[in-house]
Amino acid sequence: MIAKPRGSQSGAPAIECRAITKRFGHVLANDAVDLSVQRGSIHGVIGENGAGKSTLMAILHGFYPMDSGEIRVDGRPAAIRSSADAIALGIEMVHQHFMLVEPFTVLENIMLGAEGGALLAKGQAAARQSLARLAQDYGLVVDPDARIEDLPVGTRQRVEILKALHRGAEILILDEPTGVLTPQEADDLFRVLRALRDEGKAVILITHKLREVMAVTDHVSVMRGGRMVAHLATAETSAAELGELMIGRRPGAATRPTPATPGVELLGVADLRVRDGAGVARVRGVSFTLHAGEILGIAGVAGNGQTELLEALSGMRAPDSGTVRLRGVPLAPCDAGEMRRLGVAHVPEDRLRHGLIADFAAQETAILGYQGDPMWRQVLGLLSGRAMERHTKALMAAHDVRPGVPGLRSALFSGGNQQRLIMGRELDRAPDVLLVGQPTRGVDIGGIEAIHQRLRAWRDAGKAVLLVSVELDEILALSDRILVMFDGRIVGDLAAGAGERELGLLMAGAH
């Protein structure tokens, strides 16, 4: 049910989308989406992961073509087939992962693609002038001769914005801009966005953080499941209402057998801090405990540190600081192999990247991480193809992996079967602690149910499961306890049966 925009302004909207539809295979990423953004406004587009926000923005700035629909810029129909088309129309995007050339200076980055002539000298003078003017108008101050690699993240984002403005952006789209910023830098950003709005530009802000939406936007549109479900004026709504719209009404969770009383503490995490590969702090002091006989769900929008948390706990990434206790004993820093030996198994979030080897046969994927186990070693410690085959066949039967052919290349199994194979591999070890990330990503409905059953059975057998998922449904259906992660911290600790509203707000950082 789409609410009409309240408080409309005169004049044609800066950009207007009508019935935009985009399909990827059998996934309907955008389903007849409407959006109308006025000049001189900051318009928020919110939604969970997979709601379709990124796809819509990709279409707007020419990365994908839409399947059907209409786009009007300033009231005139526009055909956007490439990023060059979008740039020509004044539509610019500031990506989540910056498109900057690190060893170049700010000036060189700003000029790239808009050099203003074959020789740089002329364009450089013009670019310097432009930068000076932009600094004056919007407070976007940067040193033109500084090298990007020397600049902090917040300043780099400023350069991205300056690049867009230098090219004559009238409609500026920002994709999850505050994910890498400190609160201070985020405030600076909002100041700039307000200045841009006051100049008559249209700013589209894609975010899942409700606090930001309430703080800086004039209008907000909510996307859910590929559809646009609401357009509201920010002044006339609240974080609670938005949170509910974002999450939607969910069917009551199926009654679950009462969980066994949680037993001993198996995993204890205290003040864990982890940085990602680029050195950005992603886990900023996380503490929790995980007991035998429970499924602990970690809810949250992707990108709030869950990936790094799993990597640290599984031994794939060394944490900066903090302690992890396994069965009460503090763990020395160790690698993934050691964690497995200690009884911690891991079903990775990204199965294609971490969990399997595309070109290996299924029976070889089935021993990934456990290749040294005596179970498939025979004479002289050599790997026995037959033992591996037998083991994999049994695994496939037990976990319903089809086709049950151990010699088939791993890449040729469907997503659901790959996931079941990996789960089977990890569960087969009878680990005390199972770390699971996005267990049903890319899995069909039937497969999802089967995997959920497995996890419940594991818990009922007295083991512990740490479940990380961006799918709130999944968290609600499985968890005995729910932690919400936002911005690298645990912001909520709720028992099963907690209200979705509450969860939605926590996930969006509204509290």
Partner 1 sequence: MNRPLPRWAELVLLPVLNLVLALAVSALVVLAAGQSPRAAFDALVIGSFGSWDSIGYTLFYTTNMAFAGLAVAIAFKAGLFNIGVEGQAAIGGLGVALVCLGLDATLPALILLPLAILGGAAFGAAWGAVPGWLQARRGSHIVITTIMFNFIAAALMVYLLVNVLIEPGQMAPETRRFATGLAKLSAFGFPGRSPVNLALPLALAAALAVWVLVWRTPWGYGLRVVGANPDAANYAGIDQAKRIIVVMAISGALAAGIAVNEVLGTHQKLILNFTGGAGFTGIAVALMGRNHPLGVLLAALLFGALAQGGSELAFEMPELPRDTVVVVQGLVILFTGALGGLLRAPLSRLFPARA
Partner 2 sequence: MEGVLDLIVPILAATLRVATPLILAALAGLFSERSGVVDVGLEGKMLAGAFAAAATASVTGDVWLGLGAAILASSALALLHGFACVTLRGSQVVSGMAINVLAAGLTATLALAWFRQGGQTPPLPQGARFPALPLPGAAWIAEVPVLGRLLVGVVGGHTALVYLAVLLVPVAAFVLWRTRFGLRLRACGEAPGAVDAAGVSVAKLRYAGVMIAGVLCGVAGAAISTGQGAGFSTDMTAGRGFIALAALILANWKPWPVLATCLLFGLLDAVAIRLQGVLIPGLGVAFPVQAVQALPYVLTVILLAGFVGRAVAPRAVGIPYVKER
| Count, residues near partner 1 per rule CB under 8 A | 34
Stretch that binds partner 1, among 290-298, 355-363, 468-476, 481-489 (CB under 8 A): 355-363
Q: Are 509 and 209 in contact (CB under 8 A)?
A: yes
64 binds partner 1 (CB under 8 A): no
Q: From the list partner 1, partner 2, none, which binds 371 (C-beta under 5 to 8 Å, kind-based)? A: partner 1
108 binds partner 2 (CB under 8 A): yes
Structure-token pair, residue 319: 């944490």
Q: Which is nearer to partner 1, 251 or 381 (CB)?
A: 381
338 binds partner 1 (CB under 8 A): yes
Structure-token pair, residue 195: 């200045």
CB 311, min distance to partner 1, A: 9
Single residue of 49, 83, 289, 414 touching partner 2 by CB under 8 A: 83
CA distance 80 to 62: 5
CB 68, min distance to partner 1, A: 24
168 binds partner 2 (CB under 8 A): no
Q: Which residue shows structure tokens 């917040």?
A: 154
355 binds partner 1 (CB under 8 A): yes
Q: Are 246 and 222 in contact (CB under 8 A)?
A: yes
369 binds partner 1 (CB under 8 A): yes
Interior angle at CA 321, CA 317 and CA 325, nearest 5: 80
120 binds partner 2 (CB under 8 A): yes
Type of residue numbered 265: E
Stretch that binds partner 1, among 47-55, 111-119, 368-376, 492-500 (CB under 8 A): 368-376
Single residue of 79, 112, 358, 375 touching partner 2 by CB under 8 A: 112
Q: Could you tell me how far CA 466 lies from the centroid of its own chain?
A: 18
442 binds partner 1 (CB under 8 A): no
Cis peptide before 403 (omega within 30 of 0): yes
Stretch that binds partner 2, among 39-47, 105-113, 172-180, 323-331 (CB under 8 A): 105-113
With 0-12 CB in 10 A as exposed, 13-18 as middle and 19+ as buried, what is 162? buried
Q: Are 272 and 287 in contact (CB under 8 A)?
A: yes
342 binds partner 1 (CB under 8 A): no
| Count, residues near partner 2 per rule CB under 8 A | 24
Length of the chain: 511
CB 23, min distance to partner 2, A: 15
Q: Which is nearer to partner 1, 291 or 377 (CB)?
A: 377
Q: Which is nearer to partner 1, 239 or 334 (CB)?
A: 334
**Per-residue b or e along 400-428, where b marks 16 or more CB atoms closer than 10 Å to that residue's CB:** ebeeebbeeebeebeebbbbbbbbbbbbb
Site for partner 1 in 382-401 (CB under 8 A): 382-383, 385
CA distance 296 to 291: 9
CB 139, min distance to partner 2, A: 25
Q: Which residues contact 45 (CB under 8 A, 6 or more apart)?
A: 35, 53, 56, 57, 204, 205, 206, 207, 220, 221, 223
CB 164, min distance to partner 2, A: 11
Q: Which residues contact 187 (CB under 8 A, 6 or more apart)?
A: none
Interior angle at CA 506, CA 188 and CA 472, nearest 5: 125
Q: Which is nearer to partner 2, 104 or 360 (CB)?
A: 104
Site for partner 1 in 286-315 (CB under 8 A): 314-315
Q: Could you tell me how far CA 313 lies from the centroid of its own chain?
A: 19
Single residue of 37, 111, 299, 498 touching partner 2 by CB under 8 A: 111
Q: Which is nearer to partner 1, 355 or 504 (CB)?
A: 355
Find residue 409's DSSP bridge partners. Answer: 361
278 binds partner 2 (CB under 8 A): no
DSSP string, 34-94: EEEE-TTEEEEEE--TTSSHHHHHHHHTTSS--SEEEEEETTEE----SHHHHHHTTEEEE
Q: Which is nearer to partner 1, 65 or 337 (CB)?
A: 337
CB 112, min distance to partner 2, A: 5
Type of residue numbered 259: P
CA distance 504 to 288: 20
Single residue of 40, 104, 276, 285 touching partner 2 by CB under 8 A: 104
449 binds partner 1 (CB under 8 A): no
Q: Are 392 and 362 in contact (CB under 8 A)?
A: yes
Q: From the list partner 2, partner 1, none, which binds 369 (C-beta under 5 to 8 Å, kind-based)? A: partner 1
107 binds partner 1 (CB under 8 A): no
Structure-token pair, residue 494: 């709720």
115 binds partner 2 (CB under 8 A): yes
CB 293, min distance to partner 1, A: 27
130 binds partner 2 (CB under 8 A): no
356 binds partner 1 (CB under 8 A): yes
Q: Are 94 and 86 in contact (CB under 8 A)?
A: no
25 binds partner 2 (CB under 8 A): no
Q: Which residue shows structure tokens 């998922």?
A: 469
366 binds partner 1 (CB under 8 A): no
Positions in the binding site for partner 2 (CB under 8 A): 82-84, 87, 95, 99-104, 108-109, 111-115, 117-121, 123
Positions in the binding site for partner 1 (CB under 8 A): 314-316, 335-340, 346, 348, 353-360, 364, 367-369, 371-372, 377, 381-383, 385, 403, 409, 411-412
